[in-house]
């Protein structure tokens, strides 16, 4: 057997033990989600000018975890809503420190006749702020905010923001609420998996090189956002166990069995940010229909080939194949 096949077998056999009891985790999320069931989304839509005649764009805000207004684009084919036919909707999340960009970033989805709901992540590179209060210091970046307090945790906030993004998308005019996909890469891929695990309205997931998988391993070895948590623990080593217990609530290693929608995951074997040992650990615990795309010679990137694979995957799901 050649080295590539050996590595594939090794990754496919990765099954580290969950870091949190499944029943305790489910009770936590059932209560957290119930607490937000009746909280108004406070959706506001404003038409936005675009130089592209075949695209219709609105700027949308909705209230996230703590009433932070989350900014998003709602994009459709220019004739989409007037046909009185509903469309599949792609809910997208950006990578760490990124933003939702300009609407034309999503032209390939619009060309397929889909709606797009493109979301900022609070406090990062987009228009969205962050109303979370801070009672303690943080390491440079965002993810250590509230790292010792579940109710003021940045991870808790972005998780509920993502859940409510799906709710908001489902209420946009022209959206087929039975055909909502969540899509993203890196941080966006992690949020896509998280939204799929926590919101039953998600009907498909594309998670490219996702983070938030096997997070304790990532804190030790990743070279990106999780290094912020490593630096925090370096300063406060007595907080290690408490922080790991906190992160377990958002770790897709633990949440993977909650996913019911079909999933496509991609992984770069040379990725030092979202390492294959983290992605496969979560992927192997997903019980829903799933597909994985391996790129043995890719790092932390989503290539054009994979972008097309995602398109073909969602076409099959939306067409009931």
Question: Annotated active-site positions, please?
Answer: 186, 271, 300
- Gap between the Cα atoms of 279 and 99, Å rounded: 23
Q: Given the structure tokens 């972005």, which residue do they identify?
A: 158
Q: Are 246 and 256 a contacting pair, CB within 8 Å?
A: no
Residues annotated in a binding site: 96
CA angle 317, 86, 105 (to 5 degrees): 70
> Which ranges constitute the DSSP H helices of 171-225?
187-198, 215-221
* Sheet with 55-63, side-by-side order of all strands: 44-48, 55-63, 69-77, 115-119, 87-93, 175-185, 204-208, 263-268, 290-295
- Gap between the Cα atoms of 106 and 255, Å rounded: 29
Phi-psi region of 234 (alpha: psi -120 to 50; beta: other; left: phi over 0): alpha
> Beta-strand (E) ranges in 203-289?
204-208, 263-268
Neighbour tally for 304: CB within 10 Å: 7
- Gap between the Cα atoms of 23 and 20, Å rounded: 9
Residues annotated in a binding site for substrate: 96
C-alpha distance from residue 206 to each of 49, 124, 271, 293 (Å): 29, 22, 18, 11
Contacts of residue 312, Cβ cutoff 8 Å, sequence gap at least 6: none
């Amino acid at each position: 057997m050649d080295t590539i096949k050996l590595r594939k077998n090794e990754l496919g056999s990765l099954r580290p033990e969950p870091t949190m009891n499944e029943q305790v985790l489910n009770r936590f999320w059932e209560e957290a989600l119930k607490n937000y069931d009746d909280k108004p989304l406070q959706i506001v839509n404003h038409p936005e000018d675009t130089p592209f005649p075949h695209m219709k764009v609105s700027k949308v805000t909705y209230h996230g975890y703590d009433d932070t207004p989350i900014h998003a684009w709602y994009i459709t084919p220019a004739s989409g809503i007037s046909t009185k036919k509903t469309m599949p909707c792609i809910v997208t999340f950006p990578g760490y420190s990124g933003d939702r960009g300009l609407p034309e970033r999503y032209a390939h989805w619009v060309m397929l006749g889909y709606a797009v709901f493109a979301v900022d992540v609070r406090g990062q590179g987009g228009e969205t702020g962050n109303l979370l209060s801070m009672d303690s210091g943080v390491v440079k970046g965002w993810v250590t905010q509230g790292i010792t307090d579940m109710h003021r945790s940045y991870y808790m906030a972005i998780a509920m923001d993502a859940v409510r993004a799906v709710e908001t998308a489902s209420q946009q005019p022209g959206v087929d609420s039975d055909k909502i996909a969540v899509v993203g890469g890196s941080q966006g891929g992690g949020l896509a998996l998280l939204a799929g695990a926590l919101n039953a309205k998600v009907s498909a997931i594309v998670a490219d090189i996702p983070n938030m998988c096997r997070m304790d391993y990532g804190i030790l070895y990743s070279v990106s956002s999780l290094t912020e948590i490593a630096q925090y623990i370096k300063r406060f080593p007595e907080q290690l166990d408490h922080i790991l217990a906190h992160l377990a609530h958002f770790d897709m290693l633990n949440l993977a069995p909650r996913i019911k929608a079909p999933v496509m995951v991609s992984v770069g074997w040379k990725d030092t940010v979202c390492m294959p040992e983290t992605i496969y650990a979560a992927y192997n615990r997903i019980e829903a229909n799933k597909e994985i795309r391996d790129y043995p010679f890719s790092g932390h990137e989503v290539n054009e080939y994979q972008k097309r694979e995602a398109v073909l995957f969602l076409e099959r799901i939306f067409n009931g194949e």
